[in-house]
């Protein structure tokens, strides 16, 4: 075989090439176009996979070598133009691709074509994936395009709250030293700060592009204004240049009151000028964004966490979230940029039930009738970015009631890739099945007349088909670090992979994605791959079993978000396990039915009724909606108490099984990675036991019931 990429260097996309340089001794290469990236991926990928030197040609002459892989766009490549009819390409849009086997006389070649170079790059990764997972690559006829336009990461680069973080911002959830992008001229990587491009930035770019992710907000949502200063913008421009050939654009998290920061003097505002309808406020944000755009022409926009967990916001100045979001939206609109306004708000004055607060604040803004008679106040270039569940990234939550209820507003779904509450970098928890469950959840959304919408799963709402929104977004919270695998735990990388693939097409099966990842990461040997896939596909349910069985949420020790502490009260109710579990001699769980907080009423009628009644609430969500009597009869015939203990037990047993299954793979896995995972699984098992024992011991004080003899089936 051979690789043919005509005119690969034709459309360079760098803007700051004078500054941009790789670190000395770098292994990765800077490329200037997406076709160069595609060419290098094929070169490296096929050489490695086929274990021989596959020749690369830019200008093939005639005829095309038999068995060649030809990559390009109709504009770059006459060969592509003659191999794929324009009408066939037309259907795949800007980012899609066609991969097709072309027969010529006795022989033939494979063509990977996109309307854009980035489309061709995505097609290249798809082709390599087939080769790497040993799928047939003859008689190909694949056409693909993403279901969601903005497939975005929020990189929480310095999350200091969790295990493994140091006060100076080094650490991160990965337990490695520091954030993935190095802006600082001080600290561990001083002198190697941007515009010097480190190997790992290109690794990040390749990892993101290979899964289909096309944007990244580079800094934490609790934003530091330093990212908006001229000195940082210069560095961001260099980073954006390095990522651009891979189709990845950048965005920034911002702080609502940045205009008052003296670091922007003389261009600063007073607090009185922070009126989101005022020219001063809008003008300031427009100027800052314009300055960024001059350096980063494809800059996407801002992610905003406002009036949430101590971050400032419009409510501090007498305005609501809609006013604030639209103020910044109006500033960005002429520049073609977008605002991602987060809905993770839980002001205790709004309602005693934290889970109801976001919809109570945002719902009325969406319902509001405007002067022109239209409904909904949120501007077109604003997304409301909402976590999958109404609490906070627990192992299992009901879906957020806002999905579908905000029909006049662009809604972005926020999922957490980094495992803040799901075992951090110690527990093996493959989250693909969770996201599949979320995305396929039927919201039973109705139209104005109360008729059920035809397409109404969470995924349909997010991809715009349910309610006809043309601009669409899905956001993954990541915490990429310096580890070679970027994520700290080898298996956490699977979550980044699955997020990207599901962001591209949310209807994909999480088990199949696990199979792809395992074959590309660990082994193509059937029995080995099957064992690892089995470990992964049950791992989330196991975690939910010993952390959030039957819908008991947020039993985490404060701040750490790793260990259990069900008896804790911490600073405020809604940060406290006891507020969520409500343990007493009658039972366990938070009544959110009509006899309690009535969160159930925030859902569409079918779900409202289902969640209102303990007999129809899915058992996995039971304690999110009901204070469940210890003796309540479960589907299994066991009492609630027996079932609860059984769930903890089954969860732990699965982890034990994973540890043993991994041990059995020792002969087939490289020694270093084998040992690293084995060590994590040992800690995982001990910590899962701790969850079970701590929680069950505590619940027992209230249930007053004996430990069940049958503790549930062994996995």
Instruction: Name the residues that contact ligand GCW, by CB under 6 A.
Output: 156, 159, 161, 220-222, 305, 309, 344, 392-393
When the beta carbons of 269 and 427 are compared against ligand GCW, the nearer one is: 427
DSSP 312-356: --GGGGT--HHHHHHHHHHHHGGGT-EEEEE-----TTT-SSGGG
Is 504 within 8 Å of 150 (Cβ atoms)?
no
What is the spatial distance between Cα 390 and Cα 416, in angstroms, rounded to a whole number?
A: 13
Which residue is nearest to ligand GCW, using beta carbons? Answer: 392
- Rounded to a whole number of angstroms, the minimum distance from the CB of residue 18 to ligand GCW is 36
- Rounded to a whole number of angstroms, the minimum distance from the CB of residue 338 to ligand GCW is 19
Retrieve residue 383's tokens: 């997304």
Residue of 468, 459, 462, 466 lying closest to 445 (CA atoms):
466
What is the spatial distance between Cα 575 and Cα 555, in angstroms, rounded to a whole number?
A: 10
Angle between helices 117-132 and 510-521 (to 10 degrees): 80
What is the spatial distance between Cα 23 and Cα 206, in angstroms, rounded to a whole number?
A: 17
When the beta carbons of 161 and 686 are compared against ligand GCW, the nearer one is: 161
- Rounded to a whole number of angstroms, the minimum distance from the CB of residue 574 to ligand GCW is 12
- Rounded to a whole number of angstroms, the minimum distance from the CB of residue 302 to ligand GCW is 15
- Rounded to a whole number of angstroms, the minimum distance from the CB of residue 403 to ligand GCW is 17
When the beta carbons of 561 and 626 are compared against ligand GCW, the nearer one is: 561
Neighbour tally for 656: CB within 10 Å: 17
When the beta carbons of 393 and 580 are compared against ligand GCW, the nearer one is: 393
Q: Is the dihedral of CA 352, 354, 360, 365 positive or negative?
A: positive
What is the spatial distance between Cα 503 and Cα 435, in angstroms, rounded to a whole number?
A: 10
Is 616 within 8 Å of 605 (Cβ atoms)?
no
When the beta carbons of 125 and 344 are compared against ligand GCW, the nearer one is: 344
- Rounded to a whole number of angstroms, the minimum distance from the CB of residue 347 to ligand GCW is 14
What is the spatial distance between Cα 292 and Cα 297, in angstroms, rounded to a whole number?
A: 8
Find how far residue 133's CA is from the centre of its chain.
24
Is 281 within 8 Å of 319 (Cβ atoms)?
no
- Rounded to a whole number of angstroms, the minimum distance from the CB of residue 397 to ligand GCW is 12
What is the spatial distance between Cα 361 and Cα 217, in angstroms, rounded to a whole number?
A: 25
- Rounded to a whole number of angstroms, the minimum distance from the CB of residue 240 to ligand GCW is 23
For 97, 213, 387, 456, the CA distances from 145, given in Å and listed in that order, are 7, 13, 25, 21
Which long-range contacts link 570-576 to residues 24+ away (Cβ below 8 Å)? 572/348, 573/348, 574/346, 574/348, 574/354
When the beta carbons of 575 and 662 are compared against ligand GCW, the nearer one is: 575
What is the spatial distance between Cα 321 and Cα 306, in angstroms, rounded to a whole number?
A: 8
When the beta carbons of 70 and 221 are compared against ligand GCW, the nearer one is: 221
For 13, 196, 257, 562, 613, the CA distances from 593, given in Å and listed in that order, are 55, 56, 39, 29, 7
CB neighbour class for 446 (10 Å; exposed up to 12, middle 13-18, buried from 19): middle
When the beta carbons of 45 and 401 are compared against ligand GCW, the nearer one is: 401
When the beta carbons of 223 and 428 are compared against ligand GCW, the nearer one is: 223
Neighbour tally for 275: CB within 10 Å: 18
When the beta carbons of 220 and 652 are compared against ligand GCW, the nearer one is: 220
What SS3 state is found at 604?
coil
Retrieve residue 303's tokens: 């992610």
- Rounded to a whole number of angstroms, the minimum distance from the CB of residue 477 to ligand GCW is 7
- Rounded to a whole number of angstroms, the minimum distance from the CB of residue 387 to ligand GCW is 7
Neighbour tally for 135: CB within 10 Å: 11
What SS3 state is found at 26?
coil
When the beta carbons of 151 and 561 are compared against ligand GCW, the nearer one is: 561
What positions carry a catalytic annotation? Answer: 309, 392, 420
What is the spatial distance between Cα 254 and Cα 414, in angstroms, rounded to a whole number?
A: 17
- Rounded to a whole number of angstroms, the minimum distance from the CB of residue 235 to ligand GCW is 22
């Amino acid at each position: 075989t051979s690789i043919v990429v005509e005119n690969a260097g034709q459309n360079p996309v760098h803007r700051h090439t004078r500054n941009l340089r790789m670190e000395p001794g770098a292994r990765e290469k800077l490329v200037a176009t997406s076709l160069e990236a595609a060419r290098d991926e094929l070169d490296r990928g096929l050489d490695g996979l086929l274990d021989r030197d596959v020749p690369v040609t830019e200008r093939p002459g005639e005829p095309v070598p038999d068995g060649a892989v030809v990559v390009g766009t109709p504009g770059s490549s006459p060969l592509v133009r003659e191999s794929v009819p324009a009408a066939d390409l037309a259907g795949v849009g800007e980012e899609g691709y066609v991969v097709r086997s072309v027969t010529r006389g006795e022989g033939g070649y494979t063509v990977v074509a996109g309307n854009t170079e980035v489309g061709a790059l995505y097609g290249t990764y798809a082709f390599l994936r087939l080769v790497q997972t040993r799928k047939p690559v003859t008689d190909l006829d694949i056409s693909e395009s993403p279901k969601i336009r903005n497939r975005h990461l929020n990189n929480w680069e310095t999350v200091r709250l969790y295990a493994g973080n140091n006060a100076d911002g080094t650490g991160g959830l990965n337990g490695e030293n520091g954030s993935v992008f190095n802006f600082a001229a001080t600290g561990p990587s001083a002198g190697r700060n941007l515009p010097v491009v480190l190997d790992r930035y290109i690794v990040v770019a390749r990892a993101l592009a290979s899964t289909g992710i096309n944007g990244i907000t580079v800094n934490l949502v609790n934003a530091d204004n330093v990212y908006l200063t001229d000195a940082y913008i210069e560095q961001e421009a260099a980073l954006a240049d390095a990522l651009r050939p891979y189709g990845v654009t950048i965005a920034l998290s911002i702080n609502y009151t940045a205009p008052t920061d003296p670091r922007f003097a003389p261009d600063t505002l007073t607090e009185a000028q922070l009126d989101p309808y005022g020219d001063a406020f809008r003008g300031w944000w427009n100027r800052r964004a314009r300055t960024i755009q001059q350096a980063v022409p494809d800059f996407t926009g801002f992610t905003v966490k406002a009036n949430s967990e101590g971050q400032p916001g419009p409510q501090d100045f007498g305005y609501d979230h809609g006013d604030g979001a639209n103020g910044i939206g109006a500033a960005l609109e002429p520049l073609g940029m977008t605002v991602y306004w987060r809905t993770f708000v839980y002001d205790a004055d709004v309602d005693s039930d934290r889970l109801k607060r976001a919809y109570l604040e945002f719902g009325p803004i969406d319902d509001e009738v405007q002067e022109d008679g239209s409904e909904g106040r949120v501007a077109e270039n604003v997304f409301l970015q909402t976590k999958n569940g109404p609490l906070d990234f627990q192992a299992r939550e009901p879906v957020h009631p806002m999905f579908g209820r905000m029909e006049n507003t662009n809604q972005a779904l926020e999922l957490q890739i980094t495992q803040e509450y799901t075992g951090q970098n110690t527990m093996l928890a493959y989250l693909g099945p969770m996201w599949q469950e979320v995305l396929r959840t039927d919201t039973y959304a109705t139209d104005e007349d109360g008729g059920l919408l035809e397409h109404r799963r969470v995924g349909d709402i997010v991809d715009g088909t349910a309610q006809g929104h043309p601009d669409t977004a899905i956001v993954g919270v990541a915490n990429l670090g310096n580890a070679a695998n970027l994520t700290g735990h080898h298996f956490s990388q699977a979550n980044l992979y699955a997020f990207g693939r599901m962001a591209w097409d949310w209807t994909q099966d999480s088990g199949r994605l696990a199979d792809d990842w395992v074959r590309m990461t660990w082994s193509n040997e059937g029995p080995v791959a099957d064992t690892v896939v089995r470990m992964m596909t049950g791992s989330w349910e196991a975690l939910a079993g010993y952390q959030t069985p039957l819908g008991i949420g947020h039993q985490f020790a404060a701040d750490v978000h790793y260990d259990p502490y069900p008896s804790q009260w911490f600073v405020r109710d809604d940060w406290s396990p006891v507020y969520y579990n409500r343990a007493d001699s009658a039972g366990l769980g938070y009544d959110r039915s009509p006899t309690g907080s009535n969160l159930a009423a925030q859902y569409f009628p079918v779900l409202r009724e289902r969640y209102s009644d303990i007999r129809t609430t899915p058992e996995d969500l039971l304690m999110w909606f009901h204070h469940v009597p210890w003796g309540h009869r479960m589907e299994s015939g066991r009492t609630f108490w027996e079932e609860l203990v059984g769930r903890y037990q089954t969860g732990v047993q699965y982890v034990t099984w994973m540890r043993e299954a991994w041990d059995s793979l020792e002969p087939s896995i490289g020694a270093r990675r084998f040992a690293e995972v084995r060590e994590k699984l040992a800690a995982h098992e001990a910590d899962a036991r701790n969850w079970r024992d701590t929680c069950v011991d505590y619940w027992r004080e209230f249930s007053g019931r004996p430990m069940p003899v049958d503790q549930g089936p062994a996995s």
